[in-house]
Amino acid sequence: MRNHTPVPTRAVQATAAASAVVVALTLTACSSPAAATPGIDDETVKVGTHQPLTGPAAAGFSSISAATSAYFEYVNAQGGIHGRTIEYVVKDDGYNPANTQSVVRELVQEDEVFAILNGLGTPTHSSVLDYLGQNGVPDLFVASGSTTWNQPEEYPSTFGFNADYVVEGAALAQYAADQKPGAVVCVLGQDDDFGETFLQGVELALGSDGVATYQTYSTSNEDVTAQIGAMKEAGCEINLLATINGFTAMALGTAAQMGWFPQWYASSSGGDYPTLVGFLGEDVGPKLLEGFVSANYLPNSPGGDWYELFQRINDEYNDGAPFDGNTVYGMSVGYLFAEALAKAGEDPTRETLVEAVESGELVGNGILPLTFGADDHAAYDGVGIAVVSGGVQDFVGATYRVDGESVSAVEAEPVPLENDGIPAP
């Protein structure tokens, strides 16, 4: 006779079901919050970025992400943050918004990153802003000074990193007015939000009639002869530049070919001395750049503690790549992310990461305090002025802060190096 398996009674079935629920709840309770969050587990946190490794902005900015990666390797070698190592996935968008959309979707949907970090460029990052917001991906420390990133109500998970272009334009213009009252001031800007908001800052300091001419360029046209010719014709004595590094060099080189040598003041996005010498050449670069003025908010003083730490990290973890302002920038971004991750807790989620940035407790490593808060997603409201003298680019003690509609001189408040540059939990 065939043996039959007994059919469970309803009571037994109910008991089994209840037990299964208890087991499931117990497993859920024992799981860390990170286990349910994309890009993070008990050992690793994965973040991603879009960068111009090729294209018109590559020569000026492609080294930034390598510097950030080198800093993360340094942190990982010291045990990571809360025991987790940081994996940085870098994808090339060629400074093309269409490419940016493709690679960011890959980062979010295929690589499943925890956050996007330091996506570079105003036109490029603007193309993915809504997508990241709709998908709840923390969008941290955008590599652009556009005021677009500082809209907490519309983009609650997006934060800028650069001092915004209004701040830089106002600071450079005020410095020009302080140094040479009555000089004829002109502006050359990129034909997008970069140039437009920079001009707003300049006019904040000088008034709406304070600019003799405003010329624009497109990154798709590597010729600024007409623009420089118009500025020379207007009698410009001080030219303020809202330009990326390649076009800064192009402006100076074109003017020199015309036999015209005005003073040049540049945004931090296009004012790195070693990078500009690389464009202009060792023979003429140092000569054309003597007295060159730029804005900055990071610890870019040769001999400073942060500067020396980043040099050591560069030598050990970045294959001894050339050390310049982009290196300091990339490692400063890495430090700020590591600090935010440490503040987000032992089991961070995307929500606690955003809360950590908004808490106002992040310090960073700038020459002025960070301004992040629940109602302010901009990193810095002021910059220092650096001048090239004898082949060395360094701060000259002039620092400006923008508060609403006013720009004023202030004292720098550089953040001291602590704990060998590893954020404390």
CA distance linking residue 121 with residue 51, whole number of Å? 8
Three-class secondary structure assignment of 154-205: CCCCEEECCCCHHHHHHHHHHHHHHHCCCCCEEEEEECCHHHHHHHHHHHHH
Residues 6+ apart with CB under 8 A from 88: 47, 48, 49, 65, 68, 69, 72, 117
pLDDT in the model for residue 341: 98
The CATH architecture assigned to 44-163+300-380 reads 3-Layer(aba) Sandwich (3.40)
- Helix boundaries (H) for 78-147: 97-105, 122-126, 129-134
Alpha-helix residue ranges (DSSP H) falling in 344-391: 350-358
pLDDT for 24 beyond 70: no
pLDDT greater than 50 at residue 18: no
* pLDDT greater than 90 at residue 22: no
Q: How far is CA 201 from CA 113, 228, 381, in A?
A: 36, 21, 12
Position 35 scores a pLDDT of 53
**Vertex 320 angle, CA 314 and 322, to 5°:** 85
Cα torsion through 122, 125, 128, 132, rounded to 10 = -120
What is the residue whose two structure tokens read 């060629």? 94
Domain ranges in the chain with CATH number 3.40.50.2300: 44-163+300-380, 165-295
Given this model, what pLDDT does residue 20 score? 42
- CATH homologous superfamily of 165-295 equals Response regulator (3.40.50.2300)
| Token duo for residue 97 | 């918004």
Q: What is the pLDDT of residues 232-291, one digit of tens each?
A: 999 999 999 999 999 999 999 999 999 999 999 999 999 999 999 999 999 999 999 999
Give the pLDDT score at 1. Answer: 38
Amino acid at 182: G
State yes or no: pLDDT of 29 exceeds 50.
Answer: no
pLDDT level of residue 126 (50, 70, 90 thresholds): very high
Show the tokens assigned to 242.
């809202």
DSSP type of residue 284: T
pLDDT-above-70 percentage for the chain: 92
pLDDT at position 425: 78
Which amino acid is residue 15, in one-letter code? T
Average pLDDT over residues 62-88: 97
Q: Are 116 and 48 in contact (CB under 8 A)?
A: yes
Q: Which residues of 151-171 are buried (b: 16+ CB within 10 A; e: fewer)?
A: ebeebbbbbbbbbbbbbbbbb
Does 7 have pLDDT greater than 90?
no
Selection from 187, 194, 217 nearest residue 120 by Cα? 194
Measured in whole angstroms, the distance separating CA 299 from the mean position of its chain's CA atoms is 14
pLDDT for the residue numbered 320: 82
Rg of the chain over CA atoms, in angstroms? 25
Q: What is the mean pLDDT of the chain?
A: 92
Segment 211-237, tens digit of pLDDT: 999 999 999 999 999 999 999 999 999
- Write down the pTM of the prediction: 0.88
